[in-house]
Amino acid sequence: MSFRILAFLVSLPLVTQAGLFKQPDVDFSNYDVPVYEQIVDRIKANVAPRLDKPLKHDRYFMIPFAYEDKGNHPELSHSFISVIRVFASNKPAKLTPGLPTKGKYLGWEFEAFTISWLPADFLTNPHLCVFDGTGSRLFPKMNRCPILPGRNFTLAETIKLAVDSKNALAMWGPYEVAKPGFDLGVKRKELLDSGTIKYRADDRLYRKDKLAISCFHAMAGLEELYPNGGVFGSGFKMWGFNGTARVLIEYQGKVRYKQLLLDPVDEKKDRYGFVCAPAPNCPVPYAPLERASAYHR
């Protein structure tokens, strides 16, 4: 039996080279288009066909995201979400105060915002402390990482962080949501922007008292701030793609959120990726998604 296992492990590289395992489908057709533009174009292409002209009532959509590096190290991973409101055509648009993105596309007016919770200085100091100290992964009291002021980053800023690190990016949706879902997202953004909550990647000791939360908890459970997820509910490995997938499971698992989701969700099949390639039509160093577009900037 041991010999058979050894033979199987030795043969794995040959099996992969022979193409018996499905390889990721990476599209290079937009390789020279900046990845932020690719993402925005994909959102528009998926939302626009669902809108009528004239649009008789407001429509709302959410797009969950994540990025991670090869190996899914927590300090190089992030989960975030964008929310869009498309205004009805038969009345003046009543903009939501404080939302950073407003515009028009093919005659439809829209507003949007992103929940992307990171240390406030992360653009200039992108060195995230997640676990510091012997045993800190198991015992939160042994983690010496500081609590930091947080900031809600825009979608463009967040995508730049992923691109600068040459990470793999994933997006889900867009999923249509009911107006109360949009309102909950605005409420969460206002809470983050208020400055009353700080940032800490390992927030096990701080989330219940609403002192500091991670990016995962900033977007998870829009009414309940602190679901755990992960092994035995510990939150372990809830970062990168796993973190956002866990958020989608959370949204589907609670009756309240199920009523807000107007589209079916499959956290595995629905994700589409953007992966960094050093040159056109070359092998991609890290391609963890079945469907993805290549990027280099």
What pLDDT shows up at residue 17?
38
210/238 Cα distance (integer angstroms) = 19
Quote the CA–CA distance of 259 and 73 in Å, as a whole number.
Answer: 34
C-alpha–C-alpha distance, residues 132 and 245, integer Å? 26
* CA 265/CA 78 separation, integer angstroms: 21
pLDDT digits (tens, 9 = 90+) for 130-185: 999 999 888 989 999 999 999 999 999 999 999 999 999 999 999 999 999 999 89
Q: How far apart are CA 240 and CA 56, in angstroms?
A: 38
- Closest to 282 (Cα-Cα) out of 26, 67, 13, 19: 26
**ω into 49 cis (within 30 of 0):** no
Q: What is the pTM of this model?
A: 0.86
Answer for the pair 281, 21: CB distance below 8 angstroms, yes or no. Answer: no
Looking up tokens 């998926």, which residue turns up? 46
Q: Please report the pLDDT score of residue 3 as a whole number.
A: 44
Say what the pLDDT of residue 9 is.
41
The pLDDT value recorded for residue 225 is: 52
Cα–Cα distances (Å) from 255 to 112, 176, 235, 251, in that order, read 26, 17, 22, 9
Instruction: Please identify every stretch of the chain with a pLDDT value under 70, giving residue numbers as ranges.
Output: 1-24, 221-238, 255-257
Instruction: Note the maximum CA span of the chain.
Output: 73
The crossing angle, in degrees rounded to 10, of helices 155-164 and 35-47 is 130
Q: Which two tokens stand for residue 137?
A: 């992964």
Rounded distance, CA 237 to CA 71, Å? 11
Copy the structure tokens of residue 78.
């992030």
Helical H segments across the chain, by residue range:
2-17, 35-47, 155-164, 179-193, 215-219, 241-253, 255-260
